[in-house]
Structure 1
Amino acid sequence: MSPAQAEQLPRGALILAGSLVGFAFLLTATVRIAHIPPAGSPAALRETTHVAPVQTRTLRFLDAADRGVRIEDVGTGRTAGTIVPGQQTGFIRGVMRGLARERRMHGIGGEAPFTLTQWRDGELTLTDSATGRSIELNAFGTTNRAAFAALLSAPETPR
């Protein structure tokens, strides 16, 4: 056997790879020809099925002096919650850090509020009013979702 023959792929592996590529093309063509719609985003599905919001709260997240975050209800101007370092609210801090980074990339300040919405279908959405970006919070699991859901019914305290 020559060295060139020893380096060739086995015929069975080539047939299997070719079959896999052919199957992918066949499946794609079937979906296109049959006009099967792609899976929609949760926001698009809510719009087509007319799912209404159950509860909404407009919030602003402000840096506090103790390196924490004060959450202000925009409608009342009162404090809806406070996040201090070391609390079990790291998920909220992480989400807000990502949204703040996106705002900085677009040259947008932190003044614009966020809208937290509980939908009739059980979904929970956080929408940035400055960038229009929405985050479906159910996708992050029940514990992380619950951290934001608590903000919907959190009692307000004076500043």
Structure 2
Amino acid sequence: MSQTIETHPILRRPALVCGSLIAGVLALVLATPLLPSARDGVVPVAVAQRDLFFGDRADGGVVITEARSGQQVAVLQPGEGGFVRGTVRSLVRERKREDIGSAIPFRLTAWHTGQVTLEDQATGRKLDLTGFGQTNAEAFVRLLATKE
């Protein structure tokens, strides 16, 4: 019995992954204008904040480093941390389009409102990570909780 592309499980997976990544990037782009600001009458207060660098390793892993101390915060092994990887890669693509290097860190912030944001300090782009659900936001919150 032969299988078509639509029914073969190995051939369907890349399409699902690509579709999910595209949907995630679209959600990131659409969620950004929903962030509260002082002009809305809400002045958010940061309860935890950390500037981070995300670096690719030759084996496909990602090293996350605290910008101020240079200490390693976490390592995402190949195949791990899909939401973190996808979110950061979307911001890095924007930096590349604007011909901005990687010398400026990303700012991860937990707010008193329960919101978690990731800001690209090089482009000014700020993403509301809580808009992607509790589990996805927690993937970033863990980076705030690690020791320096």
Match in the other structure for 2:123 = 131
The Cα of 1:41 is off from its aligned counterpart by: 3.2
User: How many pairs does the alignment contain?
Assistant: 116
Question: Any idea what the Cα deviations from partners look like across 1:92-140, whole Å, max 9, x if unmatched?
Answer: 0001111111001000112210000000010000000100000000000
Q: In the alignment, is residue 142 of structure 1 matched against residue 134 of structure 2?
A: yes
Match in the other structure for 1:20 = none
Match in the other structure for 1:77 = 70
In the alignment, the residues of structure 1 paired with residue 110 and residue 146 of structure 2 have an alpha-carbon distance, to the nearest angstrom, of: 14
The normalised TM-score by structure 1 is 0.68
CA RMSD after TM alignment: 1.7
Query: Match for 1:111: what amino acid?
Result: A
Q: In the alignment, is residue 68 of structure 1 matched against residue 61 of structure 2?
A: yes
The normalised TM-score by structure 2 is 0.73
The Cα of 1:48 is off from its aligned counterpart by: 2.4
* 1:107 paired residue among 90, 99, 106: 99
- Segments of 5+ residues of structure 1 without an aligned counterpart are 1-39
SS at structure 2 position matched to 1:149: helix
Relative contact order, higher structure (CA 8 A, sep 6+): 2
SS at structure 2 position matched to 1:49: coil
